[in-house]
Amino acid sequence: MKDIATPIRTRAILEKYKFSFKKSLGQNFLIDLNILARILDAAGVNEQVGAIEIGPGIGALTEQLAKRADKVVAFEIDQRLLPVLGDTLSPYDNVKIIHSDVLKADVSQVMREEFKEGQDVMVVANLPYYVTTPILMKLLEEKLPIKRIVVMIQKEVADRIAAKPGSKDYGSLSIAAQYYAKAETVFTVPKTVFVPQPNVESAVLRLTIREEPPVEVEDESFFFEVIRSSFAQRRKTIFNNLTHHFGKDRKEQIEVALTTASVDPKRRGETLSIEEFAQLSNELIGLLKG
């Protein structure tokens, strides 16, 4: 049987099932085998690893994962695609499709049930662009035993996640993702390899999960609160943003924390490294909550 990820086979499958794309689900199917091979290479998929896919569509990426990985577990929210996947993936006995919204799923339990103990597990997916950030943050914040996440996402979001301090793309999302993982944009992808073609540019992002965060913070939730508030209004200084968030009656403590952390109050949030934010939040928590 011919591979799914070709224009001719994809068209035939869509016609067979009279499938209509739902814009609300951000459905864009890949029709280029070379791109799929590059995604799998970037993830380091081999016969020893388990793979999690989110939004398998008609199974183009799923099929290539099934050929390389030990086992593939795919979450699909669109019930209309279940019979399609049952058909297109019938030659592969190492694939399990779970009809579920991954944002509501207990991924940790699924991993315990479906993969071998101690097995390296990768998330490899062409993510629906409208829920990219919530899905990635769920996977990272739940601290799942995942080794690597390699996803096709909107290029603009990939740039933000992999951004370095001082760049226009650097923000709270960059720091949040890089707290949990090493982030890099592997390659960009032309619109022409999708059906239908998306309106935005795409890129493949690789997140290599850290065994330990790169910084020590006394309170993770407070650390992220400090970061979010520092970027609340990008044109404002970090001192003004923090004062606006924590209250004008805390001005003095905020000034002391910034001085102790060696951060100029006139700097903006996008100029601070993750190390500087960690030091600042550790100083602030002692003064504001001590």
Q: What are the tens digits of pLDDT across the range 199-254?
A: 889 999 999 999 999 999 999 999 999 999 999 998 899 999 999 999 999 999 99
CA distance 61 to 189: 15
Task: Kindly compute the dihedral angle of the four CA atoms of residues 210, 212, 214, 220, in this order, to the nearest 10 degrees.
Answer: 110
**CATH number attached to the domain at 7-209:** 3.40.50.150
Name the band, by pLDDT with cuts 50, 70 and 90, for residue 286: confident
Establish whether 120 is an annotated binding residue: no
pLDDT of residue 289: 75
Residue ranges matching CATH 3.40.50.150 in the chain: 7-209
The two tokens of residue 188 are: 């960009």
- Residue 101 counted as an annotated binding residue: yes
Of the two residues 287 and 93, the one the predictor is more confident about is 93
Distance CA(244)–CA(237), nearest Å, equals 11
Is 55 within any annotated ligand binding site? yes
Over pLDDT 70: what percentage of the chain?
Answer: 98
34 is in an annotated binding site: no
pLDDT tens digits, one per residue of 34-82: 999 999 999 999 999 999 999 999 999 999 999 999 999 999 999 999 9
What pLDDT does 29 receive? Answer: 87
Residues of the chain with CATH 1.10.8.100: 220-289
Q: 236: part of which helix (H) or strand (E)? A: none
Cis ω before 198 (30° cut-off from 0):
no
- What pLDDT was estimated at residue 1? 67
| Of 177, 148, 151, residue with least CA distance to 164 | 177
What is the overall mean pLDDT for the chain? 94
DSSP lists the bridge partners of residue 71 as: 50
User: Which CATH architecture is the domain 220-289 placed in?
Assistant: Orthogonal Bundle (1.10)
Structure-block tokens of residue 95: 């694939």
At 127-155, the pLDDT tens digits run 988 899 999 999 999 999 999 999 999 99
Give the pLDDT band of residue 23 (cuts 50, 70, 90).
low
